[in-house]
Structure 1
Amino acid sequence: MNKIVNILKPTGMTSHDVVSRVRRILNMKKVGHTGTLDPDAAGVLPICLNKATKVSELILNKEKTYICELTLGASTDTYDSSGVITFEGDVSNITKEDIYKAFETQRGEINQYPPIYSALKVNGQKMCDLARKGKADTVEIKPRKVNIEKIEILNINDNKILFLVKCSKGTYVRSICHDIGEYLKCGGHMSFLLRTASGKFDLENSISLEELEQYYNDNTLENYLYDIDYVLDNFKKVELKESALNYYKNGGIIDSRRFINKNISKDDEYVRVYCNGEFIGSGKILKNNDAISLKSDKIFIG
């Protein structure tokens, strides 16, 4: 079962908890998630099974979409409602115009400081672990470039703002909330988060852990599983001649004369690789002057 299943993560569970539960339900050792969701957050969490774990990084690199609630008037050390309040401010004079202006600062490519309570590592240690040990002051938090493709306010109700955000890998929605609170000088934190999409996976094609167990026991789970190449459709397809199959399996470099299709260009970096109509893995395109060749990257056949 080298497949991907789109799990609807509930609140109160870590992403690792979800992986452990899937592992137990399916009696399978090799299981991996494709991007951490905080315990207080819910939503789309694609889970890779067996050899599909090889493409988890490729799913992780996809854009994510969230529905988030920002609460103005208080900042916390975790940037969400689970943390300790570090600042409280007055929101009575903040107008809707002020709020919309603040949201404009979070659009496009921005430099974002991640929360100290995050799984990012400094010298091999998670920042959140250092913070819990009282060593937060020893950590130099560096900004990272992220891309906020879309951010849209859905509703404003007193100090509660519901908004949608579509963003690149590595974006912390908690930081968006914190930074808007800083801009408005009243403080702010994330009070709700729902991931609605991760790449091609969305809420509509997700299943709960309870449904996963039910479908597995009913022998109908196959209807809710996705092939590995489902997540690679943004890569061009290379069909190899059968004579190149062993070269591919052994990690060799394959000249484009062994490609059946010829639509690959120097602009392509990774491709989906097929032979005899069967998906066999991914490949990396090598360029040498005008010549193009392929080297196997992630192999899914024996």
Structure 2
Amino acid sequence: MQSGDVQDVSNENVNKHARNGEHVHSLDLPDHIGGTPVHTAESVLLYDIDKMIVKTSCFTTQGRGSYPEKRKMEEYLKYGVIYLDKPRNPSSHEVVTWIKNILRVEKTGHGGTLDPKVSGVLTVYLNRGTRLSKIEQNAGKEYVCIIRIDGDVNEEKFRDALRFFEGRLIQRPPLISAVKRNVRMRSVYRNEFLELRKVESAYYGLFKVSCEAGTYIRVLCEHIGLYLGMKAEMLELRRIRSGSIREEQCFTMHDVLDCHHILEKNSDERYIRRVVHPIEYSLRNYKRIMVKDSCVDALCSGAKLSLNGVIRFDRNINIGEKVVVITTKGEAIVLVETLVSGTEMQINEYGLIARTLRVIMEKVCIRAHGAQKNLICFERPGDDTSRRQEKDVLCCIEVADKVVNRILEFGKIKNCSSGSLLKMLLLA
């Protein structure tokens, strides 16, 4: 059975049981849904950890955080991403708003806008995950396009036109577009011929485009027509890849709705965890630097990364490269730009090695571990702390009352003036 068949069968069962309001705990979950591997206890950013260069093995864990796949549902949705198969007609903004209302999250965003008439891969980020939306916008894209050519053209000419429009191209956005119509340079990596068929008086071509983000396929189709000396226009377009995410890994709007219905009605988190991925899933192609728990708060505040806090790091890190900084449990902390190479990290013992580009993890104020201090986090003291503080204040008030009474009695005995009595009270 193909992976796509597994997805169809599983989604059909989920939809059927969810609409009937039945209990679905007895359903057997397949090993893969839509080609996406099942989450395990090991984080997606902890792959090949034994191949990373070890800087130090002496560190103390503070018992904070958890594996991204094992987060509680509230935290899971807070750092989540959905790879959606966008339908035709609604705009990307409308689809993202619907996801926000379905999952009842505070904030959503998308990486790489699709026009209303275009379908395919759309990455939707939830809450804190929206900080990474720019990453997907700049990733490479792949499309399947249907072009209509009004004229007589054969397969050889069509292939020649596709080969001609590979490499760096000059484009200007179409008349109806959401950006300023400035001339721009974009790269088309490859045009792959799929099919050419004549229907009545026109030819319809099917081809695949692998290109840089921001390439206008509609303009590309018009330029192909100019090369052939006849009118050509884009009829239909579908995005089949965005970055490393392919259409086989995506879910539909109905899948999201049904999985959330099962979560609300039956408290079953298994299905929603298949649809929503941890935000770390979008960073698996980046090189990694693992740091100690003691420097997490400083990094969350935007501090530069020091070599003293590094535990492990990937090989072949270059200067100026974007790297993700992770905890010992595989949680993404920040996205940084390296100031030194991996070789220098291995040789040096101290110094700043990276500057922060984007903070992902939310800073959490915790109690100090070095000394037993009654710290109040975010001005919300615990019950024990409040009782101790109240008791200390009452003791201070009692001592102050006794001191004042003693001074007043002493003043009466010595027949002191009011000015002298006031001086003694102030000195006390």
TM-score by length of 1: 0.82
Task: Provide the rounded CA distance (Å) in 2 between the counterparts of 1:169 and 1:228.
Answer: 21
* Matching residue's letter, 1:168: E
Structure 1: gaps (5+ residues): 74-90, 123-140
Question: Corresponding residue for 1:299?
Answer: 360
Question: Corresponding residue for 1:107?
Answer: 166
Helix, strand or coil: the match of 2:174?
coil
- Alignment of 1:163 with 2:207, yes or no, is yes
Aligned pair count reads: 265
User: Which of residues 184, 198, 204 in structure 1 aligns to 2:242?
Assistant: 198
RMSD over aligned Cα, in angstroms? 1.9
Give the structure with the higher percent helix.
2
User: Is the 2:107–2:127 contact (alpha carbons within 8 Å) kept by the matching residues of 1?
Assistant: yes
Structure 2: gaps (5+ residues): 1-76, 264-270, 345-350, 364-428
User: Which of residues 262, 266, 270 in structure 1 aligns to 2:322?
Assistant: 270
Question: Corresponding residue for 1:146?
Answer: 186
Task: Provide the rounded CA distance (Å) in 2 between the counterparts of 1:6 and 1:234.
Answer: 16
Question: Corresponding residue for 2:16?
Answer: none
User: Is the 2:320–2:339 contact (alpha carbons within 8 Å) kept by the matching residues of 1?
Assistant: no
User: Which of residues 135, 148, 157 in structure 2 aligns to 1:58?
Assistant: 135
User: Is the 1:237–1:274 contact (alpha carbons within 8 Å) kept by the matching residues of 2?
Assistant: yes
The alpha carbon displacement at 1:48 in A equals: 0.6
The alpha carbon displacement at 1:61 in A equals: 1.3
Helix, strand or coil: the match of 2:106?
coil
Cα shift readout 1:39-58 (whole Å, capped 9, x = no counterpart)? 11111111111111111110
Question: Corresponding residue for 2:96?
Answer: 19
Q: Which moved more, 1:164-173 or 1:281-290?
A: 281-290
Q: Which moved more, 1:207-216 or 1:272-281?
A: 272-281
Which structure ranks higher in relative contact order (CA pairs < 8 Å, sequence separation ≥ 6)? 1
Percent identity of the aligned residues? 26
Helix, strand or coil: the match of 1:117?
coil
The alpha carbon displacement at 1:163 in A equals: 0.5
Helix, strand or coil: the match of 2:331?
strand
User: Which of residues 38, 48, 54 in structure 1 aligns to 2:125?
Assistant: 48
The alpha carbon displacement at 1:207 in A equals: 1.3
The alpha carbon displacement at 1:185 in A equals: 1.9
Task: Provide the rounded CA distance (Å) in 2 between the counterparts of 1:153 and 1:231.
Answer: 30
| Max Rg structure | 2
User: Is the 1:283–1:294 contact (alpha carbons within 8 Å) kept by the matching residues of 2?
Assistant: no
Question: Corresponding residue for 2:259?
Answer: 215
The alpha carbon displacement at 1:35 in A equals: 1.3
Question: Corresponding residue for 1:125?
Answer: none
* Matching residue's letter, 1:226: H
Task: Provide the rounded CA distance (Å) in 2 between the counterparts of 1:278 and 1:234.
Answer: 14
Task: Provide the rounded CA distance (Å) in 2 between the counterparts of 1:157 and 1:231.
Answer: 39
* Matching residue's letter, 1:146: R
Helix, strand or coil: the match of 2:296?
helix
Task: Provide the rounded CA distance (Å) in 1 between the counterparts of 2:340 and 2:254.
Answer: 52
